[in-house]
């Protein structure tokens, strides 16, 4: 963990009153000693390549945080224009200090990577908190009396003396209706705020100021004359993202039998130069053997020559004693259900590699938004491009695809699904007091759907669902000495995936399939996207339903009408967001330690 404290009074910070654990270092600095850094000395943050570090420059600037920068060589070259040539080797955190010294607060516009850090400018008596563009690393802030606390660990922040542990009703309402909060800034605690991705928090005598320094802006599609340029560009950018995240030793890939994670593994082997430097870990279920995840993951691993561990996990093996382990994430989460299993898995993964890659991203970025794209071209009267696109669509879809379309339209048209009502097991007074129905209609899932030709894809990356996704990986990192990285969410890769024309490249992720032709088994490249059918989900969820009685009593009943849950059918109740009821109930019973 790391944190920074800024005393608004013009007097030194009393380190003794910070109540810092023995495994942390504390340092005050600057002329008035009004600022202090706290950071851990051990744990997963010490992994090479992404440590929790503190550094200084010239007795004027200090930094603490987790910093891993992309494209270091290019960044150093650009920075040398401002600070002069130097043979000295700098850490990523030190490069941030040099960039700030050269460019001032605009330095954040030149950063890219995974980072959350705090920088102190002693001359200006100013504290800056910075979070990366996609929010892969968390940063929280709270004012306590005459001091500001900014850090990456919510539990540490809320344990500070005088910080209220009152819960945020809106955060909990969103958890129970969507599964994650609809607003970036809220946490489960009313007193502590979360800095949104791509934002800077500035603290000085003028008061707090929060500003955005980057936006995901996809203006025009990228058009290349040569079809092969699209796939070459994709492989090149993904390889750059992998190289920037590659550890010195062995690398782990969380590998399903799907296209995205196996493509990640293939490119990682190419970047590493040897399959011995890459290992895979695949979770599969015998209850859903028809999905053949273990078969396709093994097929890819054999083709690449990498070591693969197959890990069976079925809901039949669900940990019935999950409540007894006392494992408490910083915020309520369904990850609590299998936390013991996750801890064992991460402990085993750590023996193989310290850094692991996650393959999420292409499913969202390559959404096939045919109608939006065609309407946009039509509105621009881009007749030539429209004709080429329609030809490409007809070609890539093929006879099989058109036959499926004919069969689908020949049958009865399904009715559009109605808007999901609020769960009837919500406490009515709670829902009415928060005007929850209006909140759900106004905010939806929180993304910006205004993009003219890729609305849902862009919305998926401008909403807070990814923040929840990263929080699960943060929790995993507390369970064992590993670091998770996300190459597909590298800004260079993401912007490119969102910029390629949806027709033909987003049709069944044609871009990825063509990019891997000759590099992965044809059988895998022909595999259709698979998901668990709803009729299979309900019996699985019914087993999770068999849990002990609710324990939080009056605390849970502030939010949930427990009687409604006991009388509802499994099919109605056991939707995934509703599992959060059990997570919230258990979380409320655990003391914050």
In whole angstroms, give the CA distance from residue 476 to residue 468: 13
Residue 355 and residue 285 in one domain: yes
Helix ranges (H only) for 246-369 are 259-272, 293-304, 339-352, 362-365
In whole angstroms, give the CA distance from residue 61 to residue 548: 53
What is the greatest pairwise CA distance in the chain?
Answer: 78
Residue 472 lies in a domain: yes
Three-state secondary structure call for residue 113: strand
Domain boundary among 537, 560, 582: 537
- What φ, ψ does residue 77 adopt, rounded to 5°? -65, -45
R_g of the chain computed on alpha carbons:
25
Residue 582 lies in a domain: no
243 Cβ contact list (under 8 Å, min separation 6): 271
* Integer CA distances (angstroms), 490 to 33, 114, 361, in order: 38, 9, 10
In whole angstroms, give the CA distance from residue 203 to residue 147: 10
Residue 297 and residue 153 in one domain: no
Alpha carbon of residue 438 to chain centroid? 27
546 Cβ contact list (under 8 Å, min separation 6): 320
Residue 476 and residue 340 in one domain: yes
Residue 358 and residue 503 in one domain: yes
**pLDDT at position 44:** 43
In whole angstroms, give the CA distance from residue 467 to residue 471: 6
* Integer CA distances (angstroms), 343 to 44, 138, 240, 434, in order: 13, 21, 31, 37
**pLDDT at position 399:** 63
Positions in the chain short of pLDDT 70 = 21-22, 41-51, 81-88, 315-318, 399-420, 531-553, 566-578, 592-593
pTM: 0.91
- Tokens 């950018």 belong to residue: 237
Residue 513 lies in a domain: yes
- What φ, ψ does residue 278 adopt, rounded to 5°? -125, 130
Domain boundary among 146, 178, 212: 212
**pLDDT at position 563:** 78
- Tokens 């999901």 belong to residue: 420
Residue 186 and residue 254 in one domain: no
Which has the closest alpha carbon to 536: 195, 161, 286? Answer: 286
The strand pairing partners of 307, in sequence order, are: 279
Residue 563 lies in a domain: no
Three-state secondary structure call for residue 173: helix
The strand pairing partners of 144, in sequence order, are: 147
pLDDT in tens, 62-107: 999 999 999 998 999 898 855 555 556 889 999 999 999 999 999 9
588 Cβ contact list (under 8 Å, min separation 6): 332, 552, 555, 556
Residue 593 lies in a domain: no
**pLDDT at position 324:** 77
Alpha carbon of residue 68 to chain centroid? 16
Residue 196 and residue 306 in one domain: no
Residue 564 lies in a domain: no
Residue 150 and residue 88 in one domain: yes
**Residue 497: CATH number of its domain:** 3.40.50.620
Domain count, the chain: 2
Residue 393 lies in a domain: no
Residue 437 and residue 491 in one domain: yes
Which has the closest alpha carbon to 576: 553, 544, 531, 552? Answer: 544
Residue 208 and residue 231 in one domain: no
**pLDDT at position 20:** 72
Three-state secondary structure call for residue 311: strand
Q: Copy the structure tokens of residue 305.
A: 């020559």
Domain boundary among 537, 559, 587: 537
Q: Copy the structure tokens of residue 72.
A: 């270091």
Q: What value, to the nearest 5°, has the Cα angle with vertex 217 and ends 212 and 221?
A: 170
**Residue 130: CATH number of its domain:** 3.60.20.10
Residue 292 lies in a domain: yes
What's the domain range around 457? Answer: 227-366+421-537
Residue 248 and residue 287 in one domain: yes
Cβ atoms of 462 and 447 within 8 Å: the answer is yes
Please tell me what DSSP assigns to residue 158: H
In whole angstroms, give the CA distance from residue 119 to residue 106: 13
Helix ranges (H only) for 277-369 are 293-304, 339-352, 362-365
**pLDDT at position 574:** 47
Q: In what side-by-side order are the strands of the sheet with 355-357?
A: 307-312, 278-284, 251-254, 355-357, 483-485
Residue 69 and residue 188 in one domain: yes
Q: In what side-by-side order are the strands of the sheet with 24-29?
A: 24-29, 35-40, 2-7, 147-151, 140-144, 193-194
Residue 358 and residue 466 in one domain: yes
């Amino acid at each position: 963990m790391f944190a920074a404290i800024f005393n608004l009074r013009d007097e030194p910070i009393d380190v003794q009153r910070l109540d810092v654990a023995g495994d942390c270092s504390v340092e005050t600095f600057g002329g008035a000693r009004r600022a202090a850094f706290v950071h851990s000395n051990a744990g997963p943050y010490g992994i090479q390549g992404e440590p929790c570090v503190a550094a200084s420059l010239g007795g004027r600037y200090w930094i603490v945080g987790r910093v891993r920068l992309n494209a270091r060589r290019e960044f150093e070259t650009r920075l040398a224009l401002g600070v002069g040539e130097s043979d000295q080797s700098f850490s990523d955190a030190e490069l941030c200090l040099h960039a700030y010294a050269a460019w001032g607060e605009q330095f954040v516009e030149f950063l890219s990577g995974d980072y959350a850090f705090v920088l102190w400018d002693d001359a200006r008596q100013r504290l800056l908190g910075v979070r990366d563009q996609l929010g892969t690393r968390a940063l929280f802030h709270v004012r306590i009396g005459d001091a500001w606390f900014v850090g990456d660990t919510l539990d540490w922040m809320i344990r500070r003396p005088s910080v209220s542990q009152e819960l945020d009703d809106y955060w909990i309402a969103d958890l129970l209706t969507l599964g994650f909060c609809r607003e970036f800034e809220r946490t489960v605690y009313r007193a502590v705020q979360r800095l949104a991705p791509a934002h800077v928090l500035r603290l000085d005598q003028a008061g707090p100021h929060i500003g955005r320094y980057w936006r995901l802006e996809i203006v025009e599609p990228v058009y290349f004359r040569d079809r092969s340029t699209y796939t070459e560009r994709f492989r090149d950018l993904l390889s750059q993202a992998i190289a920037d995240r590659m550890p010195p030793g062995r690398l782990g890939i969380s590998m399903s039998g799907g296209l995205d994670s196996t493509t990640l593994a293939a490119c990682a082997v190419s970047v590493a130069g040897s399959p011995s430097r890459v290992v895979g870990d695949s979770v599969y279920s015998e209850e859903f053997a028809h999905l053949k995840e273990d078969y396709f993951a093994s097929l890819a691993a054999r083709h690449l020559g990498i070591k693969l561990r197959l890990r069976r996990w079925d809901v039949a093996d669900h940990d019935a004693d999950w409540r007894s382990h006392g494992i408490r994430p910083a915020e309520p989460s369904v990850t609590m259900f299998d936390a013991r299993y996750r801890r064992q898995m991460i402990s085993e993964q750590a023996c193989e590699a310290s850094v692991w890659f996650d393959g999420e991203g292409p499913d969202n970025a390559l959404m096939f938004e045919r109608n939006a794209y065609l309407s946009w071209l039509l509105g621009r009267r881009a007749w030539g491009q429209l004709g080429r696109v329609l030809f490409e669509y007809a070609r890539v879809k093929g006879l099989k695809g058109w036959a499926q379309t004919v069969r689908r339209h020949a049958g009865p048209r399904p009715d559009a699904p109605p808007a999901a009502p609020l769960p009837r097991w919500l406490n009515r007074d709670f829902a009415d007091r928060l005007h929850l129905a209006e909140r759900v209609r106004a905010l939806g899932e929180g993304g910006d759907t205004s993009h003219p030709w890729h609305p849902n894809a862009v919305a998926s990356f401008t909403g807070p669902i990814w923040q929840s996704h990263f929080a699960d990986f943060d929790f995993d990192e507390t369970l064992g000495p590993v670091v998770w990285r996300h190459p597909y969410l590298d800004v260079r890769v993401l912007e490119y995936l969102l910029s390629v024309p949806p027709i033909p490249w987003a049709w069944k992720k044609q871009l990825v399939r063509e990019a891997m032709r000759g590099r992965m088994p044809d059988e895998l490249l022909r595999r259709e996207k698979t998901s668990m059918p709803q009729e299979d989900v309900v019996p699985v969820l019914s087993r999770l339903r068999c849990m002990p009685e609710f324990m939080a009593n009056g605390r849970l009943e502030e939010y949930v009408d427990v009687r409604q849950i006991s009388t509802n059918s499994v099919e109605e109740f056991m939707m995934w967001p509703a599992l959060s009821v059990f997570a919230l109930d258990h979380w409320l019973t655990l003391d914050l330690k």
